[in-house]
Structure formats: C-alpha cells, structure tokens
Amino acid sequence: MTLVRDNLTSLYRQIADTLQQEIAAGCYQPSGKLPSESALEQRFAVSRVTVRLALKHLTGQGVVERKQGKGTYVAGKKVAHGINVMRSFHESLTQQGLNATMRLLEKKSSPTPENLQSLFNVADNLTFIARLHLVDGEPIAVGHSYISVFSENMSWEYIEQQPTWSLLEKSAGLAITRADIRIKLNFADRALAEILNVTVDAPLFHLERTSWFEDSRCAEHSVFYIRPERYEFTWNNG
C-alpha cells in the first residue's frame, strides 16, 4: 500500500488499519504471528517508533497480543491439537501449515524406569529421546520419550527431523494403531524454564502419551511439557 504521509498520527493509524484488514482476511494464519517490527519498518518505510505506535494501537483494541521477546500475535490465536486423532505431536503442528521444527536435545540408552516396567513388560534398557519442538523458531514444547524399538544406524540429524512414531514404525516394521493420552497441569522447573524460555514455576500443559504397535506391544511412553499460552486441545466430533 501507499501511505499518505501527512503526519505521525495518520501514518501509524494507516499501518494499524492495514494490518487489521490483513488479520481479518486471514493473512497471518495459521500461526497468527505478525511480521517483526524490523520487517514492518522496511515494508512501510517508516521509523521503528511509528511501527510500535501502530502495534500499540492494535494491542489497545484487543486485535493483537505482544509477547516480550517472542513477537506479536493475533489475539487469541492458538495452535490446535486434536486429541481424538491418531497423529504425532509434530504432525499435529505441520498439518496446520505451521513452520514446525524439532531440535534433538538428548539420545541415550536408559534403564527402563520402574514405573514403566510393567507397561513395556521388560526390565532392560529402552532408548530415551528428548526433543524441543518449535514453531517459527519459538519454543513451544519439550518431549521426553522412552522408545521400545530403535535402529541405532539412524543419524542424529535424521532423528531430529522425524516424528517419534515414524522412527518407531521404521525401526519395528510395524504400524502404531493405538494411543492413549492424559493431560494435566504442571509447572516449569529450572531446566524446563530455560529450554522453553519461560519463568520458573510457569504453568505448563503436561501431556502423557502411551502408544502401541499393531501386535499389541507397547511402542513408546512420552511426556510433553507444553507452553499453554499458544496451545489448545480440541475434540472434533466430525
């Protein structure tokens, strides 16, 4: 658009009106994240002050929410996770068209935790994987997974790019046909707070998932610690 450069007030209001029209048209779906201040500054060829006045105006109108250090988002826009659909955590993000990535934090062989021994019906080692899930480069969740079958020839880079269920099905040559989940509230300890860029004791969704192969063997047990301010769980009866 071409701005009418009469005065500062008209400039920031024109930018705010343009962004509000684009929000209404769905231009910032699916993540709801607006361009950065620097990107808006370049787009409209105005100062950072003018951009901030425009965003402040939209915030005051309840159109957008500004998160310090994280960016500006359409107000109320959340990432949705359908809990009645057989879909991995990562796939639930990518299938919404989100720029979702994973970062492998840890991979090791671990003794089966005592509370999981009856679930896996084994007392020897499992593979433990910890991964950080990001949307638009912003941390959204940490996943800790105990995996029953794992091909050791998979590279670190490959593990970082593949959903847990894909790793399991490739390793076992079997499909995952069932998954049970439980959701509760938890709070960030120091380690989670640092990884997720939240404060210590910040509330987190705690999603616990157990899945099974088609031969009824337990495939994995995972716990996801999820930032709740941009995440919601849905149930689709259709």
What pLDDT is attached to residue 24? 83
Average pLDDT over residues 38-66: 91
Q: Strands 64-67 and 71-74, how do they pair?
A: antiparallel
- Confidence (pLDDT) at 101: 92
User: Which of 116-125, 130-139, 150-159, 212-221 has the lowest average pLDDT?
Assistant: 116-125
Give the pLDDT mean for 63-81.
Answer: 80
- Give all domains of the chain, ordered by start, each with its CATH number: 8-74 (1.10.10.10), 79-234 (3.40.1410.10)
**How much is the pLDDT for 152?**
80
pLDDT of residue 2: 64
pLDDT beyond 90 at 200: yes
Residue 89's closest CA among 145, 137, 136? 145
Asked if residue 169 has pLDDT above 60, the reply is yes
Kindly tell me if the per-residue pLDDT of 8 is higher than 60.
no
pTM of the model: 0.73
How far is residue 46's CA from residue 119's CA, in Å, rounded to a whole number?
60
Residue 203: Cβ within 10 Å count: 13
Q: What confidence category does residue 49 fall into, taking pLDDT thresholds of 50, 70 and 90?
A: very high
217-238 confidence digits (pLDDT tens): 999 999 999 998 778 787 765 5
DSSP-derived secondary structure for 29-88: TTT-BPPPHHHHHHHHT--HHHHHHHHHHHHHTTSEEEETTTEEEETT--EEEETTS---
Q: Is the pLDDT of residue 159 over 70?
A: yes
Please give the pLDDT value at position 7.
Answer: 60
φ, ψ for residue 76, nearest 5 deg:
80, 0
